[in-house]
Structure 1
Amino acid sequence: MWLLHIDDDQENRVPATVQVSSNRRKKSPRSPQNSFEDLVTMGNTRNSSKKRAARDKQAQKMAKKARSKENPTQEAQGDSKPAAKDTTFTFAQVAQLVKSGGQLAQKKETQANIEDFVKQEYWRRVKFITNDAGAIKGCHAYLNHHQKLMGDDDAAERHAFCVLYKDHFVDCLNKQRGYAQNRVRDACSQWMQAHNGQMPPKDGLSALLSRTWNPPAPLADNATDDQKKKWEAEWDLAIWYWDSLLAKATGNSQHWNEGIRYYKTISTACKPLDPNYLFMHTTTEAIALTFVRNNYRKWAAMEALKRANAGKKIKIMNGAAPTDVGNDPVVQGTFVTVYEDNGNKLARETPQSSAMEEAILAQLHNVHGLFAESQEEERRMKRRKSSIIDSAFMEEISGMESSDDETEAADEDQQGGGSDDDESSCALAV
């Protein structure tokens, strides 16, 4: 079973004192002729300290290996004294050292590129790798995506690259799956905060994924309060599924952002010149629901503890994964069930799929006040509307100023006429 622990002693905890020691080496005076150690220490001034440290470590290993070949062991010589340290190196050893340092830097850069590729591209359509063949296939996909790293497209070199990086590729995919699950958990937490700590209904989510969800009809004028609440609950779930849950499950900010999900349906949102490149892949919808089903009770319990113990940190203890009745406790097994067995893969091919997606998209436009067919056109409409409002406001201001001038002129005329009447009345009185 899984356990949740509340840290009660956070306020009384005394912060630990941290001492930072400097491991920076003191610079030695430069000799007229640079030794091998000087070359290693200086290196390329633009390299980072980590790269220089890696080259130093590699040099020490090479020196130790060279000494072990040239000098016999102490046991064989019968001498208990340690052998003298040999600090002489050949030019070939220096060249090999520099080459190994460059290879280390290139490997780190390649690993970072693979992680970015998995996050931005590969996760869109692949959620699990179960064997070496799948890992090597992913590495080939990376090479095909980055043409500049393919070199002369030698098959042996490509295979060597895939063997070298296949484990890292699997680690990146597992890391991305964990990241996407945490984002889905955040979406569920936002839902629970707005719905009194209750998780979104699983039946409704399954209906949305399998395209059996029927959009509620417009409310009648004489609808009761219960009918209104039910109608709002149906649309709230559909909007949250489209606008929040799926956006979190993509694991990045480019495949289901506002510029896409507010103007395209799930089944039609794709690259302009590549209709097969769907931004919302069928596997992404399936993994989103898989995350919710496999963590349904755990996330609800965490939210309940947060509400009951405000301000205290919640720790998740190690233990067996919780299971719901009828659900597979293994994430991959649940994913296969949700994806293939009457799941999203087949549901998108039904006629009801497009009708349901169009209805949700129209409701999204009503909720967010959208009228255009694209984000760019929406922005142009807002700019035109803003300029029209500004023009009308300026005309109103100018009209008010002109009316004020006319009023002042009329007042002056009335004041001038009054003085003439006073003079005439005075004359008559005399």
Structure 2
Amino acid sequence: MPLSPAGPFALRRRLISALLPVALLTLPLSAPAQPEPAPPADALPVAEIQAFAEVFERIKRAYVEEVDDATLLRNAMRGMLSELDPHSTFLDAEAYRSLQESTQGEFGGVGIEVGKRDGQLTVITPIDDTPASRAGLQARDVILRIDDTPTEGLSLQEAVDLMRGEPGTEIGLTLMRQGETAPRRVTIEREIIRTQSVKQEILAPGFGYLRVSQFQTRTGEQVVEALDALRGEDGPLKGLVLDLRNNPGGVLQAAVDVADAFLDDGLIVYTEGRLADSAMRFSAGEATAAPEVPLVVLINGGSASAAEIVAGALQDQRRGVVMGTESFGKGSVQQIMPLGDDEALKLTTARYFTPGGRSIQAQGIAPDVEVVRGRLEIAEGNGLRVREADLEGHLAGDGEEEASGETSPRLRDDYQLGEALNLLKALDVLGRRNAAETQDEEEGDAGGA
């Protein structure tokens, strides 16, 4: 039914009266002859709000299809936030529930973290052991279409909503990968994504591997438990690889807890924002799960946010060697502000800084040792060479039993991980050599009677 002539103007009056209470208080009460005082810095802009009310009124009256007030106002809120930065957004009830599920470690979907980069929907990282990782999605893949829907113009939340769905249903993603000339399309079956954020194993005798795939509420506790399990499997650790590759981040406190497991003193991260409560500092406690184990931290372009906090803290504190490629560069803090009716506002309120004062935002963490992704292959002909140690029933050499031991199958196809293990072994050799030289010097200084 068309609105009556008085309807739009009544609506406009209601909107202005609702939106201008603070602004009206700033209007002069004295005679016009007196100079008008400058409005307070936080006064509402009267002209802009009147323009907003007029736009609202015209949409209600003239748009081709009828739109209810609640939808228009929610779209207005989404529009305000979408022009701020890629991580600020309005969360309706479904999106708010999805966010809570992901931080708790269980949600329905394909298992990827996505963000906006240069206006394009981009994969930050596929989550381990999910349909997306099994389908071969990689960090920095650009998603052009979700089924038949182009992603250009979609908000981040709209894209996430399209990719989530009932387990067992299929979704088609059209991807553009750097270095390729044509898009590729992959079909993925949705699953219930239950993520185990921490895994551990022995890479080689005495050398452990700790994989943190994302930072959830209990990740800090799980890291401590994993370190205890590694020490129980093979005795004292000679070295440890902390793998943060393709880790999209997550809960800030979990990142602090993980860094604290390796540090016994000093600053981990601090934040700065406009509000007083946005300025926070997090430091390591005296108790630590792995205070002296030699450490290599693996990062890549899919390491973001909380993963960058951990890598930056361990790097600045000289607690470990950071290896791999430059990280993603998401150094902003999002605060979740409930609005009632199971809705919320996710708003960027601060920036992260490493202990040395480096901003992570749009900069990322540069590795101490750059190692690009690759695969180690045996040169043609080398596979035919046979050594004495390869012969069945050969006589054992001195120390062979001690040196033998199974290595993880993970090392076969992971060049970066192999280089991390090689570095740890070199550090172990240098450490034992320095200890032996120190002991020799002490014995040489001792006098005889």
TM-score (norm 1): 0.25
- Which structure dedicates a bigger proportion of its chain to strand? 2
Larger radius of gyration: 1
